Structure 1
Amino acid sequence: MENIAKPWPALWALVLGFFMILVDSTIVSVANPAIMEGLGAGIGDVLWVTSAYLLAYAVPLLVTGRLGDRFGPKNLYLAGLVVFTLASVWCGLSGDIGTLILARVFQGLGASLMTPQTMAVITRIFPPDKRGAAMGLWGAAAGVATLVGPILGGVLVDSLGWEWIFFINVPVGILAFVLAWRLVPRLSTHPHRFDVLGVVLSSVGLFLLIFGLQEGETFEWGTIAGPITVWSLIIAGIVVLVAFVVWQAVNTGEPLLPLALFRDRNFALGNAVIATVGFAITSMSLPIVFFYQIVRGLAPTQSALMLVPMAVLSGVLAAPAGKLVDRINPRLIATAGMTLFAVALFWYSTLMTPDQPLWMLLLPSALLGVANAGIWGPLASMTTRNLPPQLAGAGSGVYNTVRQVGAVFGSASIAALMQARLGAELPGDGAGSTDAFGGGALPEFLHGGFSTAMGQSLLLPAAIAIIGAVLTLFFAKPKPTAWGSPAAAVASDAAPAPRHP
């Protein structure tokens, strides 16, 4: 580990860029109609503006995390920031939908280079018993960014046009680059062999799995082209990923993913819990936003503003929760956070009725904010506490990959469940009665059934959050460690240092 005199300025510099790339995961959603009109694109094409970004973001995370260990997290972060910022300019200047989708791929690649480095730097410059507050700030950025995206997107589209959801990244990217260049230290690098077969297997497996899950609803879980079906891609992705794990286990050189990391109980559990967090947070927003817009008649920006209590409280409480992590067992905070998250979603499901006063719906939003503050920082702190410095990038890559895969599972699952519940709750041909998804007005006599279906759909992320809460109960209590001691670098059952050539 590196003894850095002033780690907090470095963290703030990294968080600015991290916040920006996460905002871009959600900012496009409210701009889709304007993009369709401006570029003359169909709905299937415009959905790929988001899908291409998320695929290019998620698939390389294992590799980019490992590259940070090899070439230095600062170098990879700055390179990713340059790619992301230039791709943002390209996005805003795109004159057709194909060009925009290609530019979004490069945006996603830039984001993938940056994300693991933020967490790896925190792991390396903060001592384990002081890391809670730092992870709290990192977690606040992650939690708030997903909510700021739709709000900021609505404001920019309404006032300046859809191009500005990309142009806004340029001044932020330049500022983030200057700050990172000046404030983020150059940490020592660790020579690693390049596991070419591991890179190929992990990339292909993740692509097939994430593409299948992400596009399943688009192709109605059927045929994509010729003999290729959604399920064949998903199954193929799982098979390739199993082959990847087997290769990592038998690789006598230096694997891309050191499986010994999972000997540490908290690292293994933390990755399982962050998968449930990614699932629940991604899947909860869709039924809530559809309820606000289709049943309550709110504009996109207005519906996003209904989640402001969550964003504000999550941001305000994240730092105090992080400091608390350094004083008490983080497991207690993470368990409370996951439990409150599930309670808030159950509460939402009971309040989603056509005649419910809107102010009442701000209450579960506020509870979600409190819950978020107790999830991101404590969970990241527990998961990474025992990571050895030479594997900080690899561990961060795993953690963020699992989070993204959980999010894709959540997105695919909630879309299928919403469709099923609408079919059950709406009279006659439920699926045919949902033309409101395409932007038409939903007849008032269908509001009750639609609200019920959306409320029922929220029970899925609530149940997944409960699973996450149960898993947090099995976290081991962190052992006291001294800054710079071997115990601070790696617990007794954690991964051994890799062999170097």
Structure 2
Amino acid sequence: MSAVVAQEERRAVDSRVVLGIVAVAVLLSSLDLFIVNVALPRIAEDFSGARISGLSWVLNAYSIVYAALLVPAGRLGDRNGNKATFLAGLGIFVLGSALCAVAWNTGALVSFRVAQAAGAALLTPSSLGLLLAATPADKRATAVRLWVAFGGLGAALGPVIGGVLVEFDWRWVFLVNVPLGIIAILVGIRLLPKPAGHGGALPDGVGALMLIAAVASLILAVVKGPDWGWGSAGVIGAFAATVIFAIAFVVSSRRHHSPVVDPGLLRVPNFALMLGNSLLFNVAFAGMLLSAVLWMQNVWGWSALKTGLAIAPGPLLVPIVAVSAGKLIARVGAGPVLALGGLSFAGGIAWWAQAVTLHPNYAAGLLGGMLLTGIGVGLTMPTGVAAGTAGLPPQQFATGSAVLSMARQIGMAVGVAVLVAALGSPAGPGATLDAFHRGWYVIVAGAVAAGVLGLAARLPKPTTHSR
């Protein structure tokens, strides 16, 4: 798209209108993830006491497929036009949500979650592509922070809404997406801008499949390690498959004219750093969320609603901190903000490891850590996305944001798997507390590593010049 056409598009459609429409989709995709976390214990009861190691695939299948398809989906948006890609993705997500609501066992639910993930992968990068195309260059960093903040709002609302809905039936956590998604589609058809795609080659489908297989086999090895034995043929075979699929992914990416990850993106300032930061931070983030749900419902015996309300204070801070982070970045730079975010998150989890006891005491045990993790997420996630996308050319907005989102989702899948492996199957209250301590200290290590890596980002303040 030429600069003149882009300017006409921005004049024709207010970026605030675009933000309002795409925010609904971003909110739903984020909301759904956090709702499902709260619903897992109830789903286990309904599916004849399914084990958490099996049900973790309800989360991980979504994250893995979402991660692997994000970049091809971003390329489709850049190639064919982000409006059509966004609306198609939202439609598939709504259909997948309806199917999840009628799932009859774990296998069916996991399969339908894959459909949801495919839709979410299509809509996520195209939503940011639409927003950035409709926003002047000097306001794009703010637009990115707002876009990320709506994801944080989904994290805040998810546990509470999920807790309420699960009290009636866990299936409502999926049905809630249907009417909201349909409304967003109808409004989007009329009001979203229609920036032209730049054409080009179709994305590397084989590479995307190899990435799915590599991540899935890695997760399988980590999740099943405690059950099968780390030296068992199954676990060793899964790790070997991970290496083989990863090599196949690299080979396919190098040979294909439209690879999943364009090597040129890695040369964009801060981009490679933000990939690493996002991966490590979301390993910690996913472990934090699932551990909190499992602790409150399975150890303290709290209801899904009470658990959701207990989680909410941390995520509620995310959009507030995310919007405020812009001023802090302007003063000290993106690197220190990312480091502070990682350390704040790690401090919250360390708080839990020291203060949480088998006897329920929310104010002294969980609340302080929950607030610190919320601050950490609000400082880290939007800053990382803004820093990673600041140097992207306009024709790679959707693709670049998709690569960053891919790293985030892979990190979340690994985080769930690592937590499940760390917890194992403890027998007795004392062993349970020790198991959660192991999991929490692994999370602390991931958050600290993310903060140290983020410190290297060099973005003194959000860019104010046009390209």
Root mean square deviation, CA, Å: 3.0
Partner of 1:210: 216
SS of match in other structure, 2:208: helix
- Distance (Å, rounded) in 2 between the aligned partners of 1:308 and 1:152: 10
Pairs within 5 Å for 1:313-352: 313-322=317-326, 324-325=328-329, 329-352=333-356
> Does 1:411 find its partner at 2:411?
no
Contact 2:213–2:245, Cα closer than 8 Å, also in 1: no
- Which region of structure 1 is more displaced relative to structure 2, 94-103 or 468-477? 94-103
> Does 1:90 find its partner at 2:99?
yes
Paired letter, 1:433: A
- Distance (Å, rounded) in 1 between the aligned partners of 2:107 and 2:259: 37
SS of match in other structure, 2:202: coil
2:363 to 338, 342, 359: 359
Contact 1:280–1:462, Cα closer than 8 Å, also in 2: yes
1:264 to 265, 268, 272: 268
Contact 1:318–1:374, Cα closer than 8 Å, also in 2: yes
Identity, % of aligned pairs? 30
- Distance (Å, rounded) in 1 between the aligned partners of 2:264 and 2:172: 45
- Distance (Å, rounded) in 2 between the aligned partners of 1:409 and 1:203: 18
Partner of 1:498: none
Partner of 1:279: 283
Contact 2:153–2:318, Cα closer than 8 Å, also in 1: yes
- Distance (Å, rounded) in 1 between the aligned partners of 2:331 and 2:129: 22
Contact 2:223–2:418, Cα closer than 8 Å, also in 1: no
Contact 1:209–1:238, Cα closer than 8 Å, also in 2: no
Partner of 2:451: 469
- Which region of structure 1 is more displaced relative to structure 2, 282-291 or 207-216? 207-216
Partner of 1:237: 242
- Distance (Å, rounded) in 1 between the aligned partners of 2:18 and 2:329: 21
> Does 1:145 find its partner at 2:158?
no
Partner of 2:294: 290
Structure 1 residues 68-95: Cα deviation after superposition (integer angstroms, max 9, x where no partner): 1111122111001111112222332445
Q: Rate the CA distance shift 1:101–1:293 in 2: closer, same or farther, 3 A.
A: closer
Partner of 2:439: 457
Partner of 1:394: 399
- Distance (Å, rounded) in 2 between the aligned partners of 1:479 and 1:50: 36
Paired letter, 2:398: G
Cα offset, 1:189, TM superposition: 1.0
- Which region of structure 1 is more displaced relative to structure 2, 405-414 or 26-35? 26-35
- Distance (Å, rounded) in 1 between the aligned partners of 2:67 and 2:258: 23
- Distance (Å, rounded) in 2 between the aligned partners of 1:120 and 1:231: 41
> Does 1:175 find its partner at 2:183?
yes
Partner of 1:59: 68
Contact 1:414–1:457, Cα closer than 8 Å, also in 2: yes
Q: Rate the CA distance shift 1:84–1:283 in 2: closer, same or farther, 3 A.
A: same
- Distance (Å, rounded) in 2 between the aligned partners of 1:418 and 1:363: 23
1:16 to 18, 24, 33: 24
Cα offset, 1:272, TM superposition: 0.7
Paired letter, 1:59: A
- Distance (Å, rounded) in 1 between the aligned partners of 2:354 and 2:54: 36
Pairs within 5 Å for 1:437-456: 446-447=429-430, 449-456=431-438
Cα offset, 1:290, TM superposition: 3.2
Q: Rate the CA distance shift 1:27–1:259 in 2: closer, same or farther, 3 A.
A: same
- Distance (Å, rounded) in 2 between the aligned partners of 1:40 and 1:466: 39
- Distance (Å, rounded) in 2 between the aligned partners of 1:182 and 1:356: 51
Contact 1:336–1:371, Cα closer than 8 Å, also in 2: yes
Paired letter, 1:450: T
Paired letter, 1:418: L
Contact 1:56–1:108, Cα closer than 8 Å, also in 2: yes
Pairs within 5 Å for 1:123-202: 123-159=132-168, 161-195=169-203, 198-202=204-208
- Distance (Å, rounded) in 1 between the aligned partners of 2:161 and 2:19: 24
Q: Rate the CA distance shift 1:350–1:48 in 2: closer, same or farther, 3 A.
A: closer
SS of match in other structure, 2:273: helix
Higher helix share: 2
SS of match in other structure, 2:223: coil
> Does 1:433 find its partner at 2:433?
no
- Distance (Å, rounded) in 1 between the aligned partners of 2:35 and 2:56: 13
Partner of 1:496: none
Contact 1:25–1:54, Cα closer than 8 Å, also in 2: no
TM-score calculated relative to the size of structure 1: 0.82
TM-score calculated relative to the size of structure 2: 0.87
Paired letter, 1:138: W
Cα offset, 1:327, TM superposition: 6.7
- Distance (Å, rounded) in 1 between the aligned partners of 2:352 and 2:395: 44
Paired letter, 2:445: A
- Distance (Å, rounded) in 2 between the aligned partners of 1:67 and 1:402: 19
Cα offset, 1:39, TM superposition: 6.0
Structure 1 residues 226-255: Cα deviation after superposition (integer angstroms, max 9, x where no partner): x9834423432333333433443455x444
Partner of 1:372: 377
- Distance (Å, rounded) in 1 between the aligned partners of 2:406 and 2:87: 20
Q: Rate the CA distance shift 1:70–1:231 in 2: closer, same or farther, 3 A.
A: farther
Contact 1:279–1:409, Cα closer than 8 Å, also in 2: yes
Which runs of 5 or more residues in structure 2 are unaligned? none
- Distance (Å, rounded) in 1 between the aligned partners of 2:83 and 2:197: 10
- Distance (Å, rounded) in 2 between the aligned partners of 1:219 and 1:332: 37
- Distance (Å, rounded) in 2 between the aligned partners of 1:92 and 1:205: 28
Q: Rate the CA distance shift 1:125–1:276 in 2: closer, same or farther, 3 A.
A: farther
- Distance (Å, rounded) in 2 between the aligned partners of 1:57 and 1:179: 25
> Does 1:115 find its partner at 2:109?
no
- Distance (Å, rounded) in 1 between the aligned partners of 2:97 and 2:370: 31
